[in-house]
DNA sequence: ATGAACTTCTTTTTT
DNA sequence: AGAAGTTCAT
């Protein structure tokens, strides 16, 4: 994508298009009836409810083509908004391809944010900004807020600036200016939230800067307070299309409603079941309310799925059916039956990763890694155990320890036999396989495992290029060269690399600048003149200022390209050298990134254009290719599809995420459920769900309970894989063979398996069984005797302390932080012991 | 002013 | 377990 061609965007209709007579519409024949209806209803409000894999993008792009092709609209009269740059790019490409060369790019097809930047630059003065305002990244934003918080004498231990940033963000998402924040929010951030928000906005205006939320908020404000401007755009944007409507927040919703208010030619596409961004302000309510907002709207449901097999669809439908307040859709497909969704439990997270790795190898080479042959790989103890279960006996007194042993044995047996010889219907290329996790920390065990077995993988959506420290530093240098008054950029680089300008020196600069009412760069110059700094710091600062002046003069110089200038800045500032001297293992990579950054500059006219681009394109541009397994979060997977999908970590607390449920209760749980729905519907042919009995959480082993979503999977569409897991083990055993009725019944019975029951039981806080208590007593006794009076000990929750008394199985401890407490001895370790 | 040592927090998800 | 932020000693 290139920088802006905004001045032309409104006026220059594509004459070629305009001159065209209405053409035939062969593209309509490619559509199914529902899609066609959505495409042909050009006038008035349209809501397209597009389930996963139902050809939503196709319908949307075809609609655009139809608008153009029938001469209903010119390219510049169509406002088409997406959430991601990727989606915008994709649509541009598809429309372009369908229309041939006749259409120049659509100037108003882009993300909410990029379109708002274009608009806001034209009308900046209406919100007291200059049109060359800068867009802050989250680092700048946070730094600014920290300053305000410190100035307000707030203990940022108890009230972190991060929290304030989050609060302000949410307010902006709801389109509340400081004056509009409702009274109910008055207690936010120790009662000082609103005041700080106001200060923050003032500060931004002083800096001629906006944050991401402002882009929308300012435009909504302008539309609401300037009828003439709004009217102008209502005339210009005669047709509006919105992708992923279920993800819009209030500000975006208002923005759209204002723009569509006149002609009501708005077509929103979305799927309420795939709304997964509530945490950042998205309101499912927007899509649920569409028909009320736009009475008489045409509502079209796209329900024919072209992606997944019936079992996969049924599993997904079964899960999502647990949500209330749905608009309701019934996905169907003509695809062949295919495999059931596969479910497997594992001993722990590492084991899960190991198994997935082997399974992928098997997929790749054409043999199923799974225990189709499970009947003959059971270890003796497992067999006995399962027979006991089969007879209806309780798995009494089995504590984790026992199960662990059993399963370790079984696991070993299986790793020999695991790769059964049954061929899959087909093999999979590695890039047809994806692992979708709930939280990015889950990726780690997979990466570790894949590195050791040499499985090529790629992580999608990780830290984005432009968010990396070295890139931001370099960008700050560029910003400062282009606009020396960019105080936030100055703060970022003044002591990077180290110039001997620490807190104290920086404070002096701040004070001088404020006293003189000038920018930090000018303030620094004055400070030097006044000899307010001495020694190394002074000379280094002088060098930096001199450099900035020199580079600044070269901006726009016709003898020095902006690429050369950028290189010069990085070299002469000492930034490149800073990383060359760095001995840490990541230093070479960072240098590499800097090179890439400079290279990326070549695609732009000048530095300014590049800076503009980067502030909005936080995309991971480089989509590396190659035969690799993809690892990503469920959120990152939305909109993608893969023949084979692994969904690991289906454990309560992880997925659904505890935090989600704590913060948002049922709403949070429903969003998690939608996430599960999104995950399953990414799969075309094979979908494998797994969970582990134990997992490291914050470096601490925790036993896990299978996700409640597993309960919600319709049994008829799930195949429970036996070992090397904890829970399914041995169910096929009773019947003794693959395909027998007994085995199938037994498989379905995983829900009644002892491991399952044990987990369920624990969730209901049933009291411990007798033997366990007895065992705990022994443990306690041992634990007490392991300690002595006065010993320095450590407790997971209370920290360090000294033993001042022993009573039965409890120790009385004087904790350094938490004071005197009585705690059960087994929860305490010697301060010098290494707990494990 | 700077690095080492020690603490505390973190794990959602992103334009 | 690791990162990030804090405090402390040079």
The pLDDT of residue A258:
96
Give the nucleotide at minimum CA-to-C1' distance from A215: B15
Q: pLDDT of A812-824, one tens digit each?
A: 777 776 667 777 7
Confidence of residue A769 (pLDDT cuts 50, 70, 90): very low
Provide the whole-model pTM: 0.78
**pLDDT band at A790; cut points 50, 70, 90:** confident
pLDDT at A369 over 70: no
Residue found under tokens 């500059």 = A601
Are A90 and A57 a contacting pair, CB within 8 Å? yes
- Band (A102; pLDDT cuts 50, 70, 90): low
Using pLDDT thresholds of 50, 70 and 90, give the confidence band for residue A623.
low
Question: Under a CB-based contact definition with an 8 Å cutoff, are residues A66 and A27 in contact?
Answer: yes
Percent of chain A with pLDDT over 90: 53
CA atoms within 13 A of residue A237's CA, in its CB half-sphere: 29
Spanning CA of A497 to C1' of B2, the rounded length in angstroms is 13
For residue A676, pLDDT over 90 is answered with: yes
List of E strands, A538-670: 629-633, 642-647
Chain A residues 43-72 with Cβ under 7 Å of strand B are: none
Q: Name the more confident of A376 and A33.
A: A33
pLDDT classification of A203: cutoffs 50, 70, 90: very high
**A727: buried, middle or exposed (CB in 10 Å: 19+, 13-18, 0-12)?**
buried
In the structure, how far is the CA atom of residue A533 from the C1' atom of nucleotide C9, in angstroms? 25
pLDDT at A421: 41
pLDDT at A425 > cutoff 90: no
Q: How high is the pLDDT of residue A103?
A: 64
Which pLDDT score is estimated for A619? 59
Determine the pLDDT at residue A826.
Answer: 64
A251-283 pLDDT, tens digit each: 999 999 999 998 999 999 999 999 999 998 999
- pLDDT given for residue A752 in this prediction: 43
- pLDDT tops 80 at residue A669: yes
**Mean of per-residue pLDDT scores for chain A:** 80
Q: Which residue has the higher pLDDT, A6 or A80?
A: A80
In the block, tokens 């003065």 appear at A125
Largest CA distance in chain A: 95
Assign A789 to helix, strand or coil.
coil
Q: pLDDT at position A724, please?
A: 35
Give mean pLDDT, residues A538-542. Answer: 93
pLDDT band, residue A535 (cuts 50/70/90): confident
For range A208-213, the mean pLDDT: 93
Whether residue A588 is predicted with pLDDT greater than 50 in this model: the reply is yes
Residue A485 has pLDDT above 50, yes or no: yes
Q: What confidence tier does A479 reach under pLDDT thresholds 50, 70, 90?
A: very high
The spacing between the Cα labelled CA in A803 and the C1' in B14, in angstroms, equals: 48
DSSP alpha helices (H): ranges in A153-296? 161-173, 193-206, 212-225, 227-236, 250-260, 284-288, 290-293
Choose among A459, A464, A467: nearest CA to A637: A459
Residues by Cβ under 7 A, strand C:
A 156, 696, 698-699
Other beta carbons within 10 angstroms of residue A69's beta carbon come to: 22
Q: Which nucleotides of B are covered by protein (CB under 7 A)?
A: 1-3, 7-15
Lowest-confidence region among A164-178, A556-570, A615-629, A647-661: A615-629
Banded model confidence at residue A631, pLDDT cuts 50, 70, 90: very high
- Cis previous bond, A296, omega within 30: no
Give the model confidence (pLDDT) of A377-408 as tens digits: 323 333 333 333 333 332 232 323 333 333 33
- Which whole number is the average pLDDT over A324-333? 89
Mean pLDDT value across residues A245-250: 95
Give residue A464's pLDDT band: very low, low, confident or very high (50, 70, 90). Answer: confident
Task: Specify the pLDDT at position A562.
Answer: 93
**What digits encode the pLDDT tens for the residues A217-242?**
999 999 999 999 999 999 999 999 99
Closest to A730 in 3D by CA, of A718, A747, A717? A747
Is pLDDT above 60 for A718?
yes
> Is the C-beta atom of A618 closer than 7 angstroms to strand B?
yes
How many Å does it take to go from CA A395 to C1' B9? Answer: 40
Q: What is the mean pLDDT of residues A793-807?
A: 70
Contact A718, A665 (CB under 8 A): no
In chain A, DSSP finds a helix count (H) and a strand count (E) of: 35, 21
Residues of A marked active site are found at 56-57, 243-244, 274, 682
């Amino acid at each position: 994508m290139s920088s802006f061609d905004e001045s032309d965007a409104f006026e220059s209709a594509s004459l070629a298009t305009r001159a065209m007579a209405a053409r035939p519409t062969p593209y309509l024949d490619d559509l199914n009836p529902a899609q066609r209806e959505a495409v042909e209803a050009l006038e008035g409000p349209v809501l397209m409810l597009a389930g996963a894999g139902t050809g939503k993008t196709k319908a949307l792009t075809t609609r655009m083509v139809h608008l153009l092709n029938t001469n209903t609209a010119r390219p510049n009269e169509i406002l088409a908004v997406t959430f991601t740059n990727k989606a915008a790019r994709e649509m541009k490409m598809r429309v372009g391809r369908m229309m041939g060369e006749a259409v120049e790019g659509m100037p108003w097809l882009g993300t909410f944010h990029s379109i708002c930047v274009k608009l806001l630059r034209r009308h900046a003065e209406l919100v007291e900004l200059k049109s060359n305002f800068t867009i802050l990244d989250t680092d700048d934003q946070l730094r600014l807020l920290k300053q305000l918080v410190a100035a307000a004498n707030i203990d940022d231990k108890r009230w972190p600036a991060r929290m304030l940033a989050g609060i302000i963000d949410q307010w902006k998402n709801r389109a509340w200016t400081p004056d509009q924040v409702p009274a109910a929010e008055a207690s936010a951030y120790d009662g000082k939230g609103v005041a700080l928000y106001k200060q923050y906005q003032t500060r931004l205006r002083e800096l001629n800067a906006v944050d991401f939320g402002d882009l929308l908020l300012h435009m909504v404000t302008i539309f609401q307070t300037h009828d003439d401007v709004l009217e102008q755009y209502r005339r210009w944007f005669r047709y509006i299309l919105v992708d992923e409507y279920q993800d819009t927040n209030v500000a975006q919703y208002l923005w759209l409603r204002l723009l569509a208010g006149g002609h009501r030619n708005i077509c929103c596409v979305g799927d309420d079941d795939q709304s997964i961004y509530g945490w950042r302000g998205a309101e499912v309510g927007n899509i649920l309310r569409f028909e009320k907002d736009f009475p008489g709207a045409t509502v079209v449901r796209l329900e024919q799925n072209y992606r997944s097999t019936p079992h996969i669809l049924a599993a997904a439908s079964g899960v999502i059916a647990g949500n209330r307040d749905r608009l309701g859709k019934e996905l169907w497909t003509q695809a062949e039956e295919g495999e059931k969704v596969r479910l497997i439990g594992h001993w722990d997270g590492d084991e899960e990763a190991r198994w997935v790795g082997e399974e992928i190898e098997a997929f790749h080479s054409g043999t199923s890694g799974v225990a189709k042959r499970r009947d003959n790989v059971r270890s003796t103890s497992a067999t006995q155990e399962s027979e006991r279960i089969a007879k209806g006996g309780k798995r009494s007194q089995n504590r984790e320890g026992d199960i662990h042993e059993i399963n370790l044995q079984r696991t070993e047996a299986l790793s020999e036999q695991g790769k059964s010889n049954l061929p899959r219907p087909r093999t999979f290329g590695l890039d047809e396989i994806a692992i979708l996790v709930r939280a990015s920390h889950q990726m780690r065990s997979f990466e570790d495992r894949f590195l050791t077995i040499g499985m090529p993988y790629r992580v999608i959506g990780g830290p984005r290029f432009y968010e990396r420290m070295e890139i931001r530093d370099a960008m700050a240098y560029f910003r400062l060269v282009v606009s020396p008054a960019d105080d936030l950029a100055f703060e970022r680089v003044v002591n990077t690399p180290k110039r001997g300008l620490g807190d104290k020196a920086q404070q002096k600069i701040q004070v001088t600048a404020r006293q003189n009412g000038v920018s930090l760069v000018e303030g620094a110059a004055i400070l030097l003149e006044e000899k307010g700094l001495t020694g190394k710091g002074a000379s280094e600062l002088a060098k930096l200022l001199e450099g900035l002046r020199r580079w600044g003069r070269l901006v726009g110089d016709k003898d020095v390209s902006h690429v050369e200038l950028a290189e010069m800045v990085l070299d002469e500032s000492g930034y490149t050298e800073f990383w060359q001297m760095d001995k840490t293992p990541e230093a070479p990579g960072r240098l590499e990134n800097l090179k890439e950054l400079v290279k990326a500059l070549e695609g732009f006219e000048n530095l300014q254009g590049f800076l503009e681009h980067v502030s909005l394109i936080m995309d991971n541009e480089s989509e590396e290719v190659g035969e690799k397994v993809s690892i990503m979060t469920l959120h990152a997977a939305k909109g993608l599809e893969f023949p084979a999908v692994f969904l690991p970590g289906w454990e309560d607390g992880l997925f659904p995420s505890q935090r989600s449920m704590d913060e948002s209760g049922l709403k949070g749980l429903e969003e998690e459920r939608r996430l599960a729905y999104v995950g399953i519907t990414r799969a075309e042919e094979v979908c494998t769900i797994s969970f582990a009995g134990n997992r490291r959480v914050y470096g601490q082993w925790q036993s896990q309970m299978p996700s409640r979503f597993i309960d919600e999977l319709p049994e008829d569409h799930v195949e429970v894989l036996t070992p090397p897991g904890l829970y399914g083990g041995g169910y096929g055993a009773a019947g003794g063979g693959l395909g027998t009725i007994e085995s199938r019944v037994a498989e379905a019975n995983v829900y009644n398996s002892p491991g399952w029951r044990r987990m369920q039981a624990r969730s209901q806080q049933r009291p411990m069984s007798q033997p366990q208590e007895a065992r705990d007593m022994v443990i306690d006794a041992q634990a007490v005797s392991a300690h002595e009076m006065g010993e320095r000990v450590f407790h997971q929750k209370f920290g360090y302390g000294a033993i001042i008394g022993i009573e039965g199985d409890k120790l009385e401890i004087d904790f350094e932080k938490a004071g005197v407490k009585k705690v059960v001895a087994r929860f305490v370790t010697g301060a010098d012991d290494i707990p494990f």
